[in-house]
Amino acid sequence: MLLLNYMMRRKTDSKHYCVNVTSVTIVREKIFLEPGEYEMSEAGQARRIEDVIEDCLSGAVAGTASERIIEWVDTDAAGHQHNSVIMRFVEAAESKLFRELELPEYFPIAPRVRQEVDYKAKLFFGQHVTTVLRIDRLGEKSLSFSFKVFGHEHEGRPIVEAASGKFVTACVPLGALSSASWPDNVRRAIMGG
């Protein structure tokens, strides 16, 4: 089983690559690819999941990727993933990102205020899945995220984009009834400073 750990943070406007056995860090300007661009390379070969992750994380403020396996409990009566598993995987990637940023104080003050998911393909029991999560925008009081969930090659099927979506969290300090500006330490950690 291939276990990979990915993290990306913007530190400068220049290209920066750091690659080793357990992590890939990429910073460069590129738009989020459209659905269908992940399955095949120009040569007609199935793309590697590492390439898909690199493409997805490029240009993000910060981001990460996490790998899971579709377990029996993740499937429904139709034999593929239940719709709720996608957001569980996204929330696990969000948790991983903020652990990597060393910001455990993020979760008690960051409720979701908007969320959307587009389901595009099925995932099956035993299939490896990678969730790529990126912070697209750090606002004064909110964070805008986007995500894509990919099924790895499985039983003759190529890499597939199973779902994508966006969500927004807002900074609501403990005990407060409305949003406030993100604390300076949260802003610095997200921006890589």
Residue 78 is predicted with a pLDDT of 86
Residue 141 and residue 170 in contact, taking contact as beta carbons nearer than 8 Å: yes
Q: Kindly state the average pLDDT of the residues 66-86.
A: 91
pLDDT digits (tens, 9 = 90+) for 125-134: 999 999 999 9
Q: Kindly state the average pLDDT of the residues 154-163.
A: 93
Name the helix (H) or strand (E) containing 86: helix 84-100
Q: So where are the chain's domains?
A: 6-191
Say if residue 147's pLDDT is above 60.
yes
Q: Kindly state the average pLDDT of the residues 163-172.
A: 98
**121 is written with which tokens?**
């393909």
Say if residue 193's pLDDT is above 80.
no
**84 is written with which tokens?**
């709720």
Model-level pTM? 0.75
Say if residue 177's pLDDT is above 70.
yes
CATH architecture classification, 6-191: Roll (3.10)
What are the backbone angles phi and psi of residue 71, rounded to the nearest 5°?
-95, 165
Q: Around Cβ 13, how many Cβ atoms within 10 Å?
A: 9
The whole-angstrom separation of Cα 23 and Cα 64 is 10
The whole-angstrom separation of Cα 128 and Cα 154 is 8
Q: Kindly state the average pLDDT of the residues 1-6.
A: 32
Is pLDDT larger for residue 116 or for residue 36? Answer: 116
Residue 192 is predicted with a pLDDT of 86
The whole-angstrom separation of Cα 24 and Cα 153 is 21
Of 57, 62, 14, the residue nearest 32 (C-alpha): 57
Strands (E) across the chain are located at 6-9, 16-19, 24-27, 62-69, 112-119, 128-138, 142-151, 160-170
The whole-angstrom separation of Cα 68 and Cα 131 is 8
pLDDT digits (tens, 9 = 90+) for 12-70: 333 332 222 233 333 222 233 344 444 444 444 447 889 889 999 998 999 999 999 99
Q: What is the overall mean pLDDT for the chain?
A: 80
Residue 182 and residue 109 in contact, taking contact as beta carbons nearer than 8 Å: no
Say if residue 164's pLDDT is above 80.
yes
Residue 54 and residue 26 in contact, taking contact as beta carbons nearer than 8 Å: yes
